[in-house]
Amino acid sequence: MEIADAFFAVFDEHDRLVLANRHYREVFFVGPDEYPDWPTLMRRNFHARRGTVISSPDFELWLKGTLSRRGKVPFRAFETDVHDGRWLWMTETVDEDGWMMCLANDITELRTQGRSLRQERDLALRTSLTDDLTGIANRRFVMERLSEMMTRAGGSPQTPTGCFAILDVDNFKQINDRFGHSVGDQLLIDFAQKISASVRRTDCFGRLGGEEFGLVLPRMTPLAAMGVVEAMLREVSTHRPLPMHPEFRYSFSAGIAPAICDEDQSELYARADAALYTAKRTGKHKVCLAD
């Protein structure tokens, strides 16, 4: 297949289209002078029943889960269908700054046998990496991204390996006891959405379990990580997530640990968890950095 026949696009670190050839614009219905962000592009095509075929009945939940995984690995390849009947082989390559290059080729006429089986396989894989309640990445996906960050070359003051943070919703048991588990679930969904909107393309945010969430921050210094998570804390603490209880506010505590060269992943996790425990023990609604 000639490169001239490929579908080609580049998205910046904010997932906004910055470059696309004619083939890409035609198949995904992007005007010649349009440069939308990827979520807007997918949303409008879904409602118009064009572009990528999305089988999920809840588009926003699908989008939330997809965004929590999109661009978090340096390279991936996958198959996708479009509404005009074509079948595309797509690749995504992401650089260290979060810019993504997308390439696709039309493989409609190739290897049609087993197509539905591969679609079912891809759906099962996405499901295995998604948290059922919040729709964002799950513990397995977060820990894989953490492992990838730690296997990179040892950092330096100029190019740090990165940091790992554990975020825990404060007083969650009391919230469940007061309002009921359905409201508790709604709060976790709201928290996941709020934090997800603040992470970089190169970061990875997902639910570890219960009211605990993990945040992988590649190539970020401890000081910068503190600033990022403290900004998230301020944003959440001013939010009113329950329309039926307009006076209700909530907060979270967080522990951050910088990755150390040759350290085991479990040791990094334990240091972040210990920092979280310090934040909880000393008053909650705060961010603590591991020793």
Average pLDDT score over the chain: 90
Cα 52 from Cα 78, distance rounded (Å): 13
Q: What's the pLDDT score for residue 181?
A: 92
Cα 205 from Cα 192, distance rounded (Å): 8
Q: Which residue has the tokens 């505590």?
A: 253
Q: What's the pLDDT score for residue 155?
A: 52
What is the set of active-site residues? 211
Are residues 66 and 90 located together in one domain of the fold? yes
Are residues 29 and 109 located together in one domain of the fold? yes
Is the pLDDT confidence value at 1 over 50?
Answer: no
On whether residue 134 sits in a domain, the answer given is: no
Measured between its terminal Cα atoms, the distance across the chain in Å is: 54
Helix (H, G, I), strand (E, B) or coil at 235: helix
Q: What's the pLDDT score for residue 242?
A: 84
Helix (H, G, I), strand (E, B) or coil at 118: helix
Percent of the chain with pLDDT over 90: 74
The answer to whether the beta carbons of residues 207 and 133 sit under 8 Å apart is yes
The answer to whether the beta carbons of residues 289 and 274 sit under 8 Å apart is no
Q: Indicate whether this model's pTM tops 0.85.
A: no
Cα 109 from Cα 274, distance rounded (Å): 55
Domain count within the chain: 2
Kindly state the DSSP code that residue 154 receives in the 8-state scheme: P
pLDDT band at 112 (very low <50, low <70, confident <90, very high): low
- For residue 181, which amino acid is it? H
- Domain holding 217, by residue range, is 139-289
Where residue 46 sits, what CATH number does that domain have? 3.30.450.20
Are residues 109 and 225 located together in one domain of the fold? no
At which of 128, 156, 173 does a domain end? 128
Mean pLDDT throughout 236-254? Answer: 89
Q: What's the pLDDT score for residue 209?
A: 96
On whether residue 114 sits in a domain, the answer given is: yes
Is the pLDDT confidence value at 140 over 70?
Answer: yes
Is the pLDDT confidence value at 159 over 70?
Answer: no
- Reported as half-sphere exposure (CB side, CA atoms, 13 A), residue 193 has a value of 15
Are residues 31 and 120 located together in one domain of the fold? yes
Residue 182: Cβ within 10 Å count: 9
Measure Cα distances from 202 to 3, 13, 74, 112 in Å. 27, 8, 9, 35
Q: What's the pLDDT score for residue 2?
A: 41
Q: What's the pLDDT score for residue 263?
A: 85
Are residues 92 and 174 located together in one domain of the fold? no
In sign, the C-alpha dihedral spanning 69, 71, 72, 76 is: positive
Mean pLDDT throughout 95-102? Answer: 94
pLDDT tens-digit profile of 15-74? 999 999 999 999 999 999 999 999 999 999 999 999 999 988 899 999 999 999 999 999
pLDDT band at 262 (very low <50, low <70, confident <90, very high): confident
Is the pLDDT confidence value at 283 over 90?
Answer: yes
